[in-house]
Structure 1
């Protein structure tokens, strides 16, 4: 059965709208940044079963769980690279974490970035420049299945994950817990590499497709 529908085309639409082409993202060389370590960050879950049980307990107490994660880019070998955290040498994550009850997206992401990537956790260090929300993922139930949209038949999703662009200054100190690794991974390696990086991270290059990268030489 043919289910395709041909939609009318507005030939008078101005495809050269400058606002659609104004997304320019400045990227600075990786060598501009300093990287150090600090005390280990305790992991809340040892196994997937522990994580699911914690999600169920939190959902019963607070309802929908919201995670905020930062998309941070640097330049290396003339190519844009994404900063990722590696956990236990096998799991890759964008820096971020779960919001506290009634906490805003921006303030929560800044708190989590400070916890994972900054020297001081009391907010006395340089602030983070959190930009636009690039995309959202939804977890309909407590299992690991994720969707880049909320299925209409899902009335009570268990988790929403929001990705925000985080713009770096020309220089910054990154101080990472000793039990985490901070990696710079080229976007071309991440693109659609679901097996290694999972659906969220492997979809980041497509989310960034509306930007043009302005690589600034140091």
Structure 2
């Protein structure tokens, strides 16, 4: 039996290679594994409004003073077993949302968005020492814009023709997580040494009353019943990109299309009750070992 080395495929029947099919492609995005990042918790961040009606009332008050409200949320992407995962917050074991929030009226769009990301995910307090590790968020492409025509819960990925004064616009930005932090904080958790240099893993910290989840694309796809139209559309938004999947040593282990099977489901990273995770850490390691052994 002959061995075909292309894409690590071993078979006696070599594949039929089509002509080049990569014209007008966007950039290839490099994704790093979940294990490159450290996850923790910080103080609760209760919701500003006790009900949906109260939230819409506050939106109306904002509109009367400042006009259309600007909201920014981030699609933070990493990988597990060579399949893209989205970092997502879960509130009260039911409500899912992306990191981010509405901007203050006086905020610059990008800088204000970075501040909102830090409020949600940057470590604070005694658990993580040193300055915020997430000062340099890599704000990428705007992948979607959702519009709220009226003081109602409905938002649309288009602006209806008869609407000239929308009440809110929400932008979803692509955010590529870095390989790891490279600033020097000897007392920072997750510090390791390589070739005489000190490195730290990137730290993301979630409020205690929320969960930080890593949700695979296959879980989001066509799942509006659980995640709603905005989040379930993320696989469509990311389909424009090609991905390189990098291991902990910085080696590219797979490219689009991937050579390994995706993980089994959502992985709880931090916050709330970790005992409620759909996949326990032991189960995750068992699945990873089976995948590595090809069983």
Q: 1:125 aligns with which of 127, 133, 143?
A: 133
- Corresponding position: 1:208 with 2:217: no
Q: Distance in 2 between matches of 1:30 and 1:124?
A: 20
Q: Distance in 2 between matches of 1:184 and 1:164?
A: 17
Q: Distance in 2 between matches of 1:33 and 1:148?
A: 32
The aligned residue for residue 187 of structure 1 is 217
Q: TM-score, normalised by structure 2?
A: 0.65
Q: 1:44 aligns with which of 44, 48, 56?
A: 48
- Corresponding position: 1:63 with 2:67: yes
Aligned ranges for residues 26-37 of structure 1 at < 5 Å?
26-37=30-41
Larger gyration radius, structure 1 or structure 2: 2
Q: Secondary structure at the match of 2:236?
A: helix
- Corresponding position: 1:82 with 2:82: no
C-alpha displacement of 1:107: 0.9
Q: Distance in 2 between matches of 1:98 and 1:75?
A: 28
Q: TM-score, normalised by structure 1?
A: 0.88
Q: 1:153 aligns with which of 162, 187, 193?
A: 162
Q: Which blocks of at least 5 consecutive residues in structure 2 are unaligned? A: 1-19, 181-201, 249-295
Q: Distance in 2 between matches of 1:130 and 1:179?
A: 26
Tell me the C-alpha RMSD between the 2 structures.
Answer: 1.9
The answer as to whether partners of 2:123 and 2:132 remain within 8 angstroms in 1 is no
Equivalences, count? 203
Q: Distance in 2 between matches of 1:74 and 1:114?
A: 18
The answer as to whether partners of 1:81 and 1:184 remain within 8 angstroms in 2 is yes
**Greater relative contact order structure (CA < 8 Å, 6+ sep):** 1
Q: Which blocks of at least 5 consecutive residues in structure 1 are unaligned? A: 1-14
C-alpha displacement of 1:120: 4.1
